[in-house]
Structure 1
Amino acid sequence: MTRTQWTIHGEHVVDENRHIKLSTVDVELPDGVKFTQYIARMPCCAMTLVLNDHREALLMYRHRFIIDKWVWELPGGYVDHSEDIAEAAAREVEEETGWRPRSMEHLVTYQPAIGTLDQPQAIYLARGADLTDTTPDINEAENIQWVPLNQAVAMIDRSEIVGAATVIGLYRALSLPA
């Protein structure tokens, strides 16, 4: 099998800050066709599926203005530059929900939109969590609930859960031993 690669002729940064680098890239396909592609590069995100002993998932209800929709999601956020990814995932759970995970186990890392976006998404599993005296960030969630796993999966079908990390995490949890 012969592998052919695209040729990159240059990249021009359009805008950049600590959360995103937006560029245009001049590309040539193996057949000679040339075009300009927009790409975005973002830091790694770490999310955590927290399951308790009753196989309930810790979910946050929040408004996502980009899609103008209220949705349920796993807690998570950006990994700081030199931060351990599992530690970042656990930190985000506590900051956003007030619960501290008891354990952290890597489930999967994926890229959500590899044709345009470079942003690794790491999902961790926490088996159990302890309520802390941390007050959850009011800007993060309207509501925080433990939702039975089977109900959470049904929420995907009703478009109450639409974020890729939450969908992937919940479907992955179905294959975990009880």
Structure 2
Amino acid sequence: MTTQWTIHGEKLVDENRHIRLSTVDVTLPDGVSFTQYVVKMPPAVMTIVVNEQREVLLMRRHRFIIDQWVWELPGGYVDHAEDIGLAAAREVEEETGWRPESMEHLVTFQPAIGSVDQPQIVYLARGAALTDTAPDVNEAQEIAWWPIDEAVAMIDRGEIIGASTVVAVYRVLSLL
């Protein structure tokens, strides 16, 4: 059985290089019509770096939108023509000062598909080397290696709440 929404039109509300906000007029299969806000954003990449001691590299930062201090993975937007794996590795080094030794795709997901189109692409790096690159002070107040089991406990305590970090920690836990 196939059910489809009928899309009648889209109106741009605002747009810049990081976000496109529009409204879309739709009709459901049962005839109900409404206007839906739609957010489109460029793909975001994150990397969970795991060392030989089964520790993960996390950054502590303040997220003003929710006014909360949280631990999360390094990551950011993929530039238009940039290789996704290279973007993920670049973000790790820029934000933490650690250079991943390997990169492998771990999982891709959409965290809020009811209103937002922004693929979250998570990579796994097995090992990293400390570089002379100073971490970006605008990205993190603290950078630390945490045992994977402690990262799970941090999720339980609400210290890790970002969808990409939660997904990555649980996914890596199933691989180790």
Shorter-chain TM band: over 0.9
Query: Residues 4-83 of structure 1: matches in 2 within 5 Å?
Result: 4-83=3-82
Secondary structure, aligned partner of 1:39: strand
**C-alpha separation in 2, matches of 1:21 and 1:31:** 29
Letter of the structure 1 residue corresponding to residue 160 of structure 2:
I
In structure 2, runs of 5+ residues without a counterpart are none
Query: Residues 12-161 of structure 1: matches in 2 within 5 Å?
Result: 12-161=11-160
| Count of matched residue pairs | 176
**C-alpha separation in 2, matches of 1:118 and 1:9:** 19
Letter of the structure 1 residue corresponding to residue 80 of structure 2:
H
Cα-to-partner distance string for 1:38-71 (whole Å, 9 max, x where unaligned): 0100000000000000000000000000000000
Q: Deviation of residue 31 (structure 1)?
A: 1.0
Letter of the structure 2 residue corresponding to residue 104 of structure 1:
M
Q: Deviation of residue 157 (structure 1)?
A: 0.4
Secondary structure, aligned partner of 2:107: strand
Q: Deviation of residue 139 (structure 1)?
A: 0.2
- What's the TM-score, normalizing by structure 1? 0.98
Superposition RMSD in Å: 0.5
- What's the TM-score, normalizing by structure 2? 0.99
Secondary structure, aligned partner of 1:175: helix
In structure 1, runs of 5+ residues without a counterpart are none
Cα-to-partner distance string for 1:10-38 (whole Å, 9 max, x where unaligned): 00010000000000000010111110000
